[in-house]
A and B are shown apart, each in its own frame.
Chain A
């Protein structure tokens, strides 16, 4: 009963200003009810953000309501901040998708295709013929392909979709071969099972999985180049151990939201923070100093810093810590042969590493792979242990111990300056005008080669000091005259000229950075990211920055080193996962893995539009005999010499060779193949990518929005791969054709017969696909996730069952496999033999196949064509298409063998047997006795149980194998965790740190934070490079041709908007050309969340571009006005964000704003404006295709040309008219 106000107890105080009343507060239960919930489920988000955060999802009456971060991470220790609470606003808004109108609830097929299919099936007696009748009819294919992207998808049953997919697969495999089927799914670490599902299916078919890390330009090619390591970086908590943090092109609060606090908090511990960013980015807020270099000039800034470091810390004084580090862990003491300069015959130029094979006749294993240095103690040339030569020497303990055979300690000599002899060296330089030559004074030493000739050599250290013009010799005319010397390259003054950063700042920051490293023994760190990595010449920039860290002994030190975060790499339980994902359990080595950038470069015909003038990128000091003008020709060379993979493989069905030659003997087959390749009767498919037989026909896309967020050169994809409406303004560049390729003047549009996409959101890729399948969300399935940012392996769990007709990817591919196998019994029965090519692989004998970095081309008759040595290796893989389903759902017997990575290998037979009891086995069929992989959770258990990062027993075996190989004590690193075994349930109960393993390079244990390369620095494990050390110098011929032996500044590609031959675009009254950059955005992770109502509401509700006040004024644009931007590659319409935090001359379109939300029509093309990728285009870099040579050998997602997308310009104008659908 409500009491009358007059009888209530009232108390007054605060000078009668306040009164206390007693009232009913029963209404307060209202918000308590809202807070009430039924259960809380731990899961995470499988989005390539590197976060891998642990979330609690709240469920009320069977409905997902909201999500909050979990806070129960194991402690980082009493004196460190914790990981809790990891998460960001994007993740916090995920539950919106669950029931959103954007959700794909059912399977869909393109209506036009469905009608043809329905009709064809009535007219033929089997689905294979029905499919054939459609795809061989040009009118029909044009009809359904040109409808891609226009809507018109109709709902079908899962079984209908599986049948059409299977018909396409069977027809394609029979007619063209399995390698015309491609799978694209990126970043396995973000949801390992999902990746593995399709990868396993496609690998069993013999189709190719396309790489993504290099294609995304997230791979830093500098990492394989310098360390022979794909990427290894500290966990974010290790930032806290740093005493000097540089954030360089990495906007930590935005792109590492859950980790940013470690950087922020480190400041209170006294860590200095420097931000290097062209705009006033979010991270600048936390910096003590902000340096704002011109976009793309970062290498010049690094060189300015390096000049100061070399002069202050190697020339004016010597820091024992730095010197010792340089001698033991870098290639600085190794000697390089000096050649005669091609520019000035009286000058020298730098060549390749001197090997023991050059100077000694003595019988020596792998002599051409053993570079030498001079031992200071006896001035003798010596091969220290640890080089790649010893790595592949049987019986040799391979380590960095400098004990010589006679027991004395080798003291690597850094410099020949004490010998008093100098030469003038010609070195290459590059600027906006092109290439140039400069001279320096270089101390040298003379050796006698085994043929008796005299050879001048210099150490890498002396070359480096010379490059930077450090004055070491009195009266040196070529040295820099001080930091203010504007005429000498690489001085702070020169750097200021290029970068716009004041030279006194360069001097100050370089001094602080190195002084800090000297005081703390290497605790200076550079957090570096996409802002630097996504450029054409990013490897040179990275190497320039890494050199700063090498010179100051920071790599391999806790709190120091490089911290590259671009893409969610580091799939921690790697061995178990790889076994399942690539079906090695059934067919070891049978999977095809293709380099993504090259695949798309050819498949979307971007090679025919390439305009890149290679000459400007090359060194004027050195020419080589295997030189080309067109970048595509380098790719062809890389394919035939076994450097890079190439699928589709040959212009012939790979299943046809055994029948044609009527043999399964590999030697015989090889002989035939070699002969046919030599005489030209057999071609690599990539030589004529436009021919029908060489085209990819079917593509599976899952966990990806390939046609928008990852489609560099989106409009080329739309036109050539899909045959859809597009905004391409460029015309093919017939004036610039590759030498080694076949050119078709016709435009080949719509190469793909069937695009199949699995997704839970209707975005660009499903819109342009023919079959769209409803995927379960991250709150509806079991899976695993890990990242380099933290050491945990997190589970996905079902908060609710898959909604509507959605399925987990594992269940979806399982279902397709079943239909496919059953149909194969009828239409594709019998065992097939698939002839598979494979490039020369890193961490295998293949990496020492092509010695001395010299190119020998069998096609030109320079060397015998030997598979696996001078060309790709060949192997035969058995494929029984009727058994794919049985194999898919079981862990095959080969998993009961050895696993490993990076050259380590160990048995998991015991673990395989244990798994039988953990997840059960089958009782009949070929899968009899094999552990069951039919359910998602079983797959997770298998991955965890078979991997060294999640099973302590396996970790111990792995370290013991590493001990055997290196002869160093290592197994103690994980000894304390030998009994630890993660299970899916245990990591659901609480996050758990992964166990140290030699397949990653941290030696940290006992609560230390993960620190890459510490196993090399602390435990003498060699780097997987030519010298076994960290590389400043790369001597392969192509690196010499491009002037990239040492890191140096190369300008961004020249401004290029439209070619005269391209579609004419009438210029607007007010129009300017701006640099076009696509940094990662705040309100989306790739295209995920960019369509989420919360994220759209929290900024401007659709595609935007950022530009400076002055640039906006120039084109009469005010904040929030619509603008149109275009170049030859495509057109984007978006609203302008005008801000003073933007520098003049540069426009940002934050990455991955898709084209299905608030994107008006273009007034230029009349079609829908494109995504952020519309103005982009692929440019492949030849140095990134080198192979068969030490660390420059192929690995999937390890080496290959990157799909860079920053060296671009657009014209910008006001959008004349905002139109949406009509036209």
Chain B
């Protein structure tokens, strides 16, 4: 066992209102400068949808993340560093999003509005921030917001595979959710492994993954290696840049900008202790649907005296251990198992996790029995609009069971709280069925609903 501390985040997608405040505050603070116009360290995607950059989840195209080779060993999907150098691929990397996959940043010819008298009312037209020429707008970082252009984007979302065909184009069966994304600060970061210059590293004390702006040589293999497409190329400085987990703030005890400014109050930050000696082994789990659980197995109980001893021996300081003991991440991911990693099948062991969203009942279930059984005031999981398969494809390598269990738990917590707040009895047996007790249901409720600043961060 080798104990390491990792700063990590949980985003409760059930609470996400899709407002993009996180994206804007992040951008204003970190990337509103030349060369970084198109960069959104943090972005929010509407799902189903193609995301940013377009179709980033299509790893058959982008070749991001890890795969298992014939021997069952981890290998970068895009090939090893050695491979690149020896085959001279270092000078030509085809597996990378190009500008159009992100978008061509633009601005407007605003000063026309102050111009001389003209035949018609003046208007500020879009012009490229790259070429300065007028441009036709065809793509942006959030082009398919709120199911815009859904006839195309539904088909281009890889997670929509194997989902009932009649959802597409069917107003009655419409569903949507939001997915805010930032760097995953993975335990097994493919970007770090891809960097030929050794410029990328994972900090020993908190696991934050950074690009050394002095050592980066602009090879851009990190961009390919990262399956989440969260490393960007600054075309002014010719260096790779990415989300820093706001380390200048974290080091001062402040939450990240995206977390503190999240007006949906969906973000939680905390420390997780994990066994760094078993990461590779866990990543080599052959079954995609088990990868989530294998990652969970790496997380260590911060209250276990043996873990504490080993952590101290491995150089983790006591204050960090105490943070891990108070960590909302540990509670949601490990204790309650309501949070999940994004695409665990990429085998990078991402450390930004998500609570899956509940959703409205589907119309053809509505009205069924609800008057006869008033306790059915909330939709059953099977009746919800967002297909469990969709969530499982996104958050659990296709494992629908674990997603269902989390949704059951959230739904049961609501039922329990409804009974409690209206002074009615509630059969504790029902709580037991989803792995809750009255105490844990109440405490989960407080963490998710009351969610005071100090409980989130």
Q: Which residues of A contact B (CB under 8 A)?
A: 5, 13-15, 17-18, 20-21, 23, 25, 27-28, 30-32, 34-35, 65-69, 71, 78-82, 84-89, 92-93, 95, 100-102, 111-112, 147, 149-153, 243, 253-254, 257-258, 260-261, 264-272, 275, 280, 282, 284-285, 287-290, 502, 504-505, 507-508, 511-512, 515, 519-520, 725, 762, 767, 1082, 1091, 1093-1094, 1096-1102, 1106, 1108-1109, 1119-1120, 1135, 1137-1144, 1155-1161, 1167-1168, 1220-1223
Nearest residue, chain A, Cβ from B135: A1101
Q: How far is the CA of A289 from the CA of B145 in the complex (A)?
A: 23
Q: Is B277 an interface residue (CB 8 A)?
A: yes
* B142 engages A1156 (CB within 8 Å): no
Candidates B30, B247, B279, B371; contact of A18 at CB < 8 Å: B279
**Chain B min CB distance to A106 (Å):** 10
* B413 engages A89 (CB within 8 Å): no
* A89 engages B21 (CB within 8 Å): yes
Q: How far is the CA of A147 from the CA of B122 in the complex (A)?
A: 12
- A253 touching B19 in the complex, CB below 8 Å, given contacts A767-B122, A1156-B122, A1157-B123: yes
Question: Which positions 425-450 of chain B face chain A at CB distance < 8 Å?
Answer: 445, 448-450
| Residues of the A chain whose Cβ atoms lie less than 8 Å from the Cβ of B113 | 102, 151, 762, 767, 1156
- A505 touching B449 in the complex, CB below 8 Å, given contacts A15-B280, A1137-B149: no
* A1168 engages B367 (CB within 8 Å): no
**Chain A min CB distance to B406 (Å):** 14
* A1138 engages B120 (CB within 8 Å): no
Q: How far is the CA of A1006 from the CA of B108 in the complex (A)?
A: 51
Question: Which positions 185-235 of chain B face chain A at CB distance < 8 Å?
Answer: 198, 201, 203-204, 210, 212-215
Q: Is B137 an interface residue (CB 8 A)?
A: yes
* A260 engages B142 (CB within 8 Å): no
Q: Is B174 an interface residue (CB 8 A)?
A: yes
9 residue pairs from A and B, CB less than 8 Å apart:
A23-B212, A81-B451, A85-B265, A88-B263, A512-B374, A515-B374, A762-B114, A1120-B149, A1139-B147
* A92 engages B21 (CB within 8 Å): yes
Q: Is B318 an interface residue (CB 8 A)?
A: no
* B121 engages A149 (CB within 8 Å): yes
**Chain A min CB distance to B441 (Å):** 10
| Residues of the B chain whose Cβ atoms lie less than 8 Å from the Cβ of A767 | 113, 121-122
Q: Which 7 A-B pairs have the closest CB atoms?
A: A270-B418, A152-B117, A253-B17, A504-B367, A268-B449, A66-B28, A1119-B149
* A14 engages B176 (CB within 8 Å): no
**Chain B min CB distance to A1153 (Å):** 12
Q: Which of B53-61, B356-364, B390-398 has 4 or more CB atoms under 8 Å from chain A?
A: B356-364
Nearest residue, chain A, Cβ from B73: A17
* B27 engages A1167 (CB within 8 Å): no
* B453 engages A31 (CB within 8 Å): no
Nearest residue, chain A, Cβ from B204: A20
Interface flags, B79-120, vs A, CB<8A=1, else 0: 000000000000000000000000001111011111111111
| Residues of the A chain whose Cβ atoms lie less than 8 Å from the Cβ of B260 | 68-69, 71, 85
* A151 engages B115 (CB within 8 Å): yes
| Residues of the A chain whose Cβ atoms lie less than 8 Å from the Cβ of B150 | 1109, 1138-1141
Candidates B114, B246, B276, B419; contact of A270 at CB < 8 Å: B419
Beyond the given A150-B119, A285-B18, please list 6 additional residue pairs across the A-B interface where CB-CB is below 8 A.
A89-B21, A102-B113, A1097-B106, A1100-B143, A1138-B149, A1223-B119
Number of residues on chain B facing chain A (CB within 8 A): 121
| Residues of the B chain whose Cβ atoms lie less than 8 Å from the Cβ of A85 | 260-263, 265
- B108, B115, B141: which has the most chain A beta carbons within 10 Å? B108
Q: Is B334 an interface residue (CB 8 A)?
A: no
Nearest residue, chain A, Cβ from B30: A34
- A287 touching B263 in the complex, CB below 8 Å, given contacts A100-B110, A269-B421: no
- A79, A95, A265, A504: which has the most chain B beta carbons within 10 Å? A265
| Residues of the B chain whose Cβ atoms lie less than 8 Å from the Cβ of A1223 | 119-120
| Residues of the B chain whose Cβ atoms lie less than 8 Å from the Cβ of A725 | 120-121
| Residues of the B chain whose Cβ atoms lie less than 8 Å from the Cβ of A271 | 418
* B24 engages A89 (CB within 8 Å): yes
| Residues of the B chain whose Cβ atoms lie less than 8 Å from the Cβ of A1108 | 171
Nearest residue, chain A, Cβ from B244: A31
Nearest residue, chain A, Cβ from B212: A27
**Chain A min CB distance to B62 (Å):** 23
Q: Is B379 an interface residue (CB 8 A)?
A: yes
Q: How far is the CA of A285 from the CA of B18 in the complex (A)?
A: 10
| Residues of the B chain whose Cβ atoms lie less than 8 Å from the Cβ of A152 | 115-118
| Residues of the B chain whose Cβ atoms lie less than 8 Å from the Cβ of A515 | 374
- A18 touching B23 in the complex, CB below 8 Å, given contacts A31-B247, A152-B116: no
| Residues of the A chain whose Cβ atoms lie less than 8 Å from the Cβ of B138 | 1120
* A257 engages B21 (CB within 8 Å): yes
- A1139 touching B248 in the complex, CB below 8 Å, given contacts A17-B280, A85-B260, A1158-B124: no
Q: How far is the CA of A124 from the CA of B299 in the complex (A)?
A: 88
Nearest residue, chain B, Cβ from A100: B110
| Residues of the B chain whose Cβ atoms lie less than 8 Å from the Cβ of A69 | 260-261, 263
**Chain B min CB distance to A1221 (Å):** 6
* A15 engages B417 (CB within 8 Å): no
* B107 engages A31 (CB within 8 Å): no
Nearest residue, chain B, Cβ from A1093: B107
**Chain A min CB distance to B259 (Å):** 10
- A270 touching B121 in the complex, CB below 8 Å, given contacts A101-B110, A1102-B137, A1139-B146: no
Q: How far is the CA of A1161 from the CA of B280 in the complex (A)?
A: 61
* B108 engages A1093 (CB within 8 Å): yes
Nearest residue, chain B, Cβ from A23: B201
- A272 touching B142 in the complex, CB below 8 Å, given contacts A150-B117, A265-B448: no
Nearest residue, chain A, Cβ from B457: A71
- A289 touching B360 in the complex, CB below 8 Å, given contacts A14-B277, A1098-B141, A1223-B120: yes
| Residues of the A chain whose Cβ atoms lie less than 8 Å from the Cβ of B147 | 280, 1139-1141
* A15 engages B244 (CB within 8 Å): no
